[in-house]
Amino acid sequence: MQKPKCKIKEIVVACVVLCLCHSQLCAAQHQDANSPGISFTISKKVLHRIDPRLFGQFMERPSWGEIGVEGARIPGTSKLQPDVLKLLAEMKIPIIRFPGGTDADFLDWRDMVDNVPGRAAERPISTGHLGHKVTNYFGYDEFLGFCEDVGAQAIVVVNFRDGLLKKKPLKEAAAHAAAMVAYCNAPLGAKLPEGMYDWPSLRAENGRSRPYKVKYFQIGNETWAFTKQLKELEPQAAPQFYAECLSAYIEAMRSVDPSIEIIVDGHDGDMAGIIAQVREKLPDKIAYFATHFYCPWAINQVLRNGKEVPVQEIAADEIWRAWVAVTQFDADGQSIIDYPGINAARRLGYKVAVTEWNWNGWWRRQGPRAALDSSLAKGLGAAGYLHAFMRAGDVIELGCQSMLVGNSWGITAVRADAEGKIPPFYMPTGQVTMFYSQHHGSELLALASRNVPMYEQPYRMGGISPNKKVAHIDALATAGEKSIYFHAINRSFEKSLVVTIDVSAFDSIKDRALHHVLEGRLNDIPGPDEPRQVGRISQRDLNFDGKTLKVTLPHRSVSCIEFVQE
């Protein structure tokens, strides 16, 4: 009988030792992940202003592959589905761009309003730049009325191709753009340019007597696409003619409403010399130069050190780490925008509007499926763009994420069903921009960091480049009137990370903070008990001494710690 007792005793001792070893191993692993401690110190030093319009949206109505907001209507009407409107209102969007996009330079704005003289009562179908058709049920009155309802400013894009590529005489093309300004902004009875139709009266006939007071008009979209044709039309004087066209448009549009602010294309590359001429000749007539950022586009193959890697050999966590690292990075592994146009704006003192941007990639290849195809990864990649824009907030003031409403493209903020049978829901990229729009301050503060873990991202996937140093935690701080905000992207695929945040530089911080967090699941196709919406936003209270806060940032998440001031 004693022998079995000895064996039991040995087994018990062994189990205790094993448990202790396991506990020590877990503690060691946790210590390795978080020690020496990751810490951030927020300073009172203000680096620059953060414009709230940085977190805007682009309500595109493309004609190819997707119909955008046209597919979010109550079928057979011009009204948006009530559930779509509810989600859009909850986003609290500061500024919205409309209607395009590439198609904007191929459209006649009059096709998107009612009762145009000489035309049938029903709005015609428009033809986009690739020859595809799109309906015009959701037009300017619907869009501008929607903007007023949700408290958003509007950016309206006018057709510049007609004048620039001589599709119409320049004076006529400029007058056509000015007529749109008149429809949007001129009061009833206003003295309009000679020969212009009474567009304010037509607006009143369509149910709107008061002007919409649109502040921002963008002249053309991605005009770099017309550079080759422009140089063929004006081989010796393309820059001068471009500036002449812009000047004619601006003069005509401001003859109707001198208060409007003008956005023009500001791309580099082949456009660099042309834009330089514009900046030189029209310095006081342009409010913003526009640029666009998209990455990674189609992923046809994966390269490592210049050699193709079979996608089935790449683990899910490796794909994740690549997909959340789409921007450029500084020496600390933090997201930045370091492009010639942005640097030129900083050097020459002009402002930039990023009127289109998003994480817009997709797998486009045959063969075995990749281990990961996650909208949540795309959302965190988009958050990296927002951090980069905020760090360049001294020059970037406006931002419009593509695209606000849609039926099929993976970059929509609100996914709608054209038949209205499936309830709409948020996609992670749009959720991320909504999250920042609702939780941020108006000033970027200096932030010191210690012991932030890094990783190397070795793959090239479409537009995603390899990077030697990417920070697992991408953090910045902003200040509002009543709160200090600590913004953090935890890029880690598998580890929640504990960080210490020092706010002792501020005398009036309450001993309570709010932790807003956006996280979600990896699978896009919902399981039996899962909602269609991948991401979820939650909030919890944190108690601390008002000086330093230790908090856990969940893996695969975006956090905003809001420190409330007395």
- 185-197: b or e for each residue (b if 16 or more CB lie within 10 Å)? bbeeeeebeeebe
3-class SS of residue 12:
helix
- pTM of the entire predicted model: 0.93
Mean pLDDT confidence for 160-166: 98
- 96-135: b or e for each residue (b if 16 or more CB lie within 10 Å)? bbbbbbbbbbbbebbbbbbebeeeeeebeebebbeeeebb
Region of 523 please: left (phi>0), alpha (psi -120 to 50) or beta: beta
| Cα 553 to Cα 322: distance, rounded to the nearest angstrom | 20
pLDDT of residue 276: 82
pLDDT of residue 275: 81
Residue 370: HSE in the Cβ half-sphere, 13 Å Cα cutoff: 22
Angle between helices 170-185 and 238-256 (to 10 degrees): 30
| Each residue's pLDDT tens digit, 447-473 | 999 999 999 999 999 999 999 999 999
Measured CA angle at 417 (ends 414, 422), to 5 deg: 100
- 531-558: b or e for each residue (b if 16 or more CB lie within 10 Å)? eebbbebeeeeeebebeebebebbebbb
Mean pLDDT confidence for 331-340: 95
CA 543, chain centre distance (Å) = 33
Exposed / middle / buried, residue 234 (Cβ in 10 Å: 0-12, 13-18, 19+) = middle
Of 406, 460, 397, 457, nearest in space to 429 by CA: 406
| Cα 347 to Cα 48: distance, rounded to the nearest angstrom | 15
Beta carbons of 524 and 489 less than 8 angstroms apart: no
Can the peptide bond before residue 36 be classed as cis, meaning omega within 30 degrees of 0? yes
Exposed / middle / buried, residue 527 (Cβ in 10 Å: 0-12, 13-18, 19+) = exposed
Residue 285: HSE in the Cβ half-sphere, 13 Å Cα cutoff: 19
What percentage of residues in the chain have a pLDDT greater than 90?
87
The pair of structure tokens assigned to 55 is 């977190």
* Confidence bin at 269 (pLDDT 50/70/90): low
Query: Per-residue pLDDT for 10 more than 50?
Result: no
| Each residue's pLDDT tens digit, 165-216 | 999 999 999 999 999 999 999 999 999 999 999 999 999 999 999 999 999 9
Exposed / middle / buried, residue 49 (Cβ in 10 Å: 0-12, 13-18, 19+) = middle
| Each residue's pLDDT tens digit, 346-389 | 988 999 999 999 999 999 998 999 999 999 999 999 999 999 99
| Cα 392 to Cα 6: distance, rounded to the nearest angstrom | 70
Of 146, 136, 111, 151, nearest in space to 61 by CA: 136
Beta carbons of 505 and 448 less than 8 angstroms apart: no
Mean pLDDT confidence for 74-89: 97
Mean pLDDT confidence for 284-304: 96
The residues near 187 (Cβ < 8 Å, ≥ 6 apart) are: 200, 210, 211
Beta carbons of 471 and 538 less than 8 angstroms apart: no
Of 206, 38, 50, 31, nearest in space to 116 by CA: 206
Name residue, tokens 């054209």: 418
DSSP state, 91? T
Average pLDDT, the chain: 92
